[in-house]
Amino acid sequence: MAEIAVLGAGAWGTALAIQAARANAASVALWARDPAEAAMIAMTRENTRRLPGAILPASVAMTSSLDEALSGAELVILAIPVQHLRGLLARLPAALPPVLIAAKGVEQTTLLMPLELVASLRPQHQAIILSGPNFAHEIAAGLPAAAVVASPDTSLHQSVIARLGTPAFRLYGNLDAIGVQVGGAAKNVIAIAAGIVIGAGLGENARAALITRGLAEIGRLAAGLGGRSETVAGLSGLGDLLLTATSLASRNTSLGVALGRGQSLTEILAAREAVTEGVTTAPALLARAAAEGIELPISEAVAAILAGRLRVREAMETLLARPMRQE
């Protein structure tokens, strides 16, 4: 029996399992879909493929059985890419403890954000979103960090903070789940654009300008979907965008850099194991915004580049040719 079940043994799921143990969870179950991978991690106590160098504490049990992982759990953390959330939710039992979604993005087929997806499939479940400027390897190492847990239920905030927070991993509650989810999804798209700017040799000035205008774009989308634009000034917006768009440790930024240098999306993705969420998020986010009549010029340019409809230079020229206006 585990106090906390972490479903998804990627880098982020592994880091959250380590953090849960650090936060004094009596027992943590970390679930991997692949039995061979689960067995290897259990034997070595290290996820050498996804998070090398991070050793699992003794209180973390590795399993490939969902039943084992969920047995006795008081909190379930879903740490898998958004595009796989629907399939995993369909496999979970009808009765579940509160669910913490540790994923950022928009489902391609439905244009739903994570909590909307849970609400559509499992409306009876308590669900909350985790988002913020967090690299998995730093969380696993216990380096200082902060994040947001968001839902309209403040008691759920406090429960999750008590189970997962520590002095070095500060968690803040937020009632604006829409704004938090928009920030987490859109920052990956803006980060690809920021990487493209650097890869294309357009300079740091251009990247700073793009990140700033990208933040305004995220705020416009958050407000248009029913969130609060001021949420974007916090950890789940500005904080996450700064981290993701300024570091080559970010998969989205590094992909953008490679695109800016002239590599094709196909060859970039072929060389990667980990999911680069911004690639699937860009067109889905754009479609969601278009349905609400919200203009996202940077995201539109990124989606066009990813789809092969525009070259990098053409996209930049299009953005620079937009009409001047007051900030």
**Homologous superfamily, domain 4-175:** NAD(P)-binding Rossmann-like Domain (3.40.50.720)
> Measured in whole angstroms, how far is the alpha carbon of residue 74 from the centre of its chain?
23
In angstroms, rounded to a whole number, what is the distance separating the alpha carbons of residues 282 and 315? 15
Q: Looking at residue 2, what is its pLDDT?
A: 79
Query: Where does residue 203 rank: exposed (0-12), middle (13-18), buried (19+ CB within 10 A)?
Result: exposed
- Distance from the Cα of residue 248 to its chain's centroid: 16
Domain over 178-320 is classified CATH 1.10.10.10? no
Q: Are strands 28-31 and 145-150 parallel, antiparallel or unpaired?
A: unpaired
Could you tell me which of 14, 95, 93, 2 has the C-alpha nearest to residue 51?
14
**CA 216 remoteness from chain centre:** 19
pLDDT for 322: 67
**Tokens found for residue 124:** 């009876």
Q: How many angstroms separate the Cα of 155 from the Cα of each of 74, 119, 127, 147, 151?
A: 15, 18, 12, 17, 10
The DSSP bridge pattern shows strands 28-31 and 4-7 to be parallel
Report the C-alpha gap between 6 and 130 in whole angstroms. 13
pLDDT number for residue 302: 96
Residue 149: closest CA among 32, 234, 71: 234
pLDDT of residue 90: 94
Instruction: Return the SS3 of 222.
Output: helix
Say what the pLDDT of residue 314 is: 86
Per-domain boundaries in the chain: 4-175, 178-320
Burial 226-256 (b: 16+ CB within 10 A, else e): ebbbebbebbbbbbbbebbbbbeebbbbbbb
Supply the Cα-derived Rg of the chain in whole angstroms: 19
Q: What averages of pLDDT result for each successive group of 10 residues across the chain (327 residues)? A: 92 98 93 97 97 97 97 97 96 94 96 97 94 98 98 96 97 98 97 95 93 95 95 97 96 96 95 91 96 95 95 81 65
Max Cα-Cα span within the chain:
60
104 belongs to the catalytic site: no
Phi then psi dihedrals of residue 101, to 5 deg? -90, 120
> Which one from 163, 187, 220, 251 is the annotated catalytic residue?
187
